[in-house]
Structure 1
């Protein structure tokens, strides 16, 4: 891949917006997998890789232009703490990409006229490894140099495994995003999208204005897109608007389903009426406004399903016809 090849912009030549896949963990649980573990879905890279491949394939069949791999919580220290060797950990991190590539190749045919879907290797934040919810707070005990050291080997493994780009996602702090961009400089030609978790319509989880994040990332080598994920539906439209004012990069949004997560009980509940009256009730209800605000990619995070992504892809198809 050349230094200037942005796979997202290449895809956008053929479609009005990129359809990103939905939740991996939600669908794995629907298939009977128990994810109550500090490794979350990454544990299944060892125990049930064929089920991960099955979920990726379901999203591609639903019309997704991009699959995000099961490497969000896959780190060498995390696997070692779970009793694996470092080499076994490296093998599983590489496998996360292979499974998504295999699923794409089982679905996509060059003669179909469909743009070749992308495989985005998930890079979760340091807080995901800690498994203490700090990916929604920031305030880590590591400085930027420590974050660079933490992410370095996993980043290299994912790129070497053949991912089209990295999905650096759910970041709670700009400092961690800049640590990742420092590492991208070690891999000429590597591309990554960077999406933050956000606490409201203007700030990421640690309170930094998202305009500051977008300005800091604009123009940095290897940054293919910016945006937000794992964020409430109500905040998506204003976040897109302020990001677009701050930079010219493609903006990606893949919010949660609309339910609310209780970190104390680790359970999901219907959104409370009142404070979200003007919020869309789901992806398909918000898509038109998000597209109008300037989104280049739309998908789903927690609690979204292949049915949500299929509805999004069908809506896009109707847009293209009309």
Structure 2
């Protein structure tokens, strides 16, 4: 049987749907990370929901963290925006909230870092249409490096020592080391992710998030074939974990212009009437049977609640 770890679900949408938190690019440019500043207690309650669901990995509320987002965040304490010198305390809060929220002693913390496009207005985390200043590999590398460095010197503490994984999420461009709207294909993604690169670490896992669950099967087959080829040709000798956390929607699509979830006109519900967690568990079972993946990290993205994650864990507990 496959080795499976359970990841959490959609933090931002859970904050909206259960806790009534509203986000906008104007008032809350940090999105879910805004609660590190405005309401850590509500953030802790929401992340604790996922902890109570029994997750093995809990993502920090840092997906859209970057200095510009803090600079554009106006509060009573910082009416002109939060200066770089004050950012550290909120990063510490992100790690502390995640640590407090995990219930399983063995659970790990993953530092969540989204793509540059998630910080644009309107967002481009799916389209990958970046501005000229961030339209090449070198500048994207520097942008992500700066974010990582924010966590390495917080009042004399290296917060990364309290984090077990770093999760680069929803990266829409190959030069950000993922796919696919920029025209690259699965084969290029796998090669870029696990191929040899001087001085680079081999990732624990590769995969996909925030896609529809019914699209996973075909994509997983292609990922598996690519990894098999990479091993056969000597590109890599290690099989990465397969990471899958599709969104928990039922046909809704996020409109980056209106910043709302909408169901496209004429579109019905997903034709597969099986519950979301059943579909996802079946994808994992099929992938395990076909190979080469031996370890899976599965959870949910947008609209996947803690209840969905509880049901997902039950799928594998029952197996």
TM-score, length-normalised on structure 1? Answer: 0.78
Bigger-Rg structure (1/2) = 2
Q: Does residue 224 of the first structure (1) align with residue 224 of the second (2)?
A: no
Question: How far apart are the structure 2 equivalents of 1:18 and 1:69?
Answer: 17
> Which residue in the other structure is 2:111 paired with?
121
Question: How far apart are the structure 2 equivalents of 1:225 and 1:266?
Answer: 31
Q: 5+ unaligned residues in a row in structure 1: which ranges?
A: 1-11, 110-115, 178-195, 197-202
Q: Does residue 44 of the first structure (1) align with residue 35 of the second (2)?
A: yes
- Measured on the aligned residues, the alpha-carbon RMSD in Å equals 2.3
Q: Is residue 228–residue 254 contact of structure 1 (8 Å, CA) maintained in 2?
A: yes
Residues 58-78 of structure 1 deviation map (CA, whole Å, 9 limit, x = unaligned): 111111111111100111121
- The equivalent position to 1:92 in structure 2, one of 90, 97, 105, is 90
> Which residue in the other structure is 1:312 paired with?
312
Q: Is residue 35–residue 43 contact of structure 2 (8 Å, CA) maintained in 1?
A: yes
- The equivalent position to 2:240 in structure 1, one of 249, 256, 262, is 249
Question: How far apart are the structure 2 equivalents of 1:299 and 1:58?
Answer: 14
Q: 5+ unaligned residues in a row in structure 2: which ranges?
A: 74-80, 153-157, 228-238
Map 1:89-238; keep pairs closer than 5 Å: 89-104=87-102, 107-109=103-105, 116-140=106-130, 141=132, 142=134, 143-158=136-151, 160-161=158-159, 162-177=162-177, 204-220=180-196, 221-238=201-218
Relative to structure 1, the CA distance from residue 263 to residue 279 in structure 2 (aligned partners, 3 Å threshold; closer, same or farther) is farther
Q: Is residue 88–residue 151 contact of structure 2 (8 Å, CA) maintained in 1?
A: no
Cα offset for 1:280?
A: 5.8
Q: Is residue 29–residue 72 contact of structure 2 (8 Å, CA) maintained in 1?
A: no
Map 1:26-45; keep pairs closer than 5 Å: 26-29=13-16, 30-36=18-24, 37-45=28-36
Question: How far apart are the structure 1 equivalents of 2:104 and 2:214?
Answer: 34
Relative to structure 1, the CA distance from residue 280 to residue 87 in structure 2 (aligned partners, 3 Å threshold; closer, same or farther) is farther
Q: Is residue 45–residue 92 contact of structure 1 (8 Å, CA) maintained in 2?
A: yes
Question: How far apart are the structure 2 equivalents of 1:222 and 1:76?
Answer: 28
Question: How far apart are the structure 2 equivalents of 1:241 and 1:169?
Answer: 21
TM-score, length-normalised on structure 2? Answer: 0.79
Question: How far apart are the structure 2 equivalents of 1:172 and 1:279?
Answer: 29
> Which residue in the other structure is 2:56 paired with?
65
Bigger shift: residues 148-157 or 19-28 = 148-157
Cα offset for 1:300?
A: 0.5
- The count of aligned residue pairs is 274
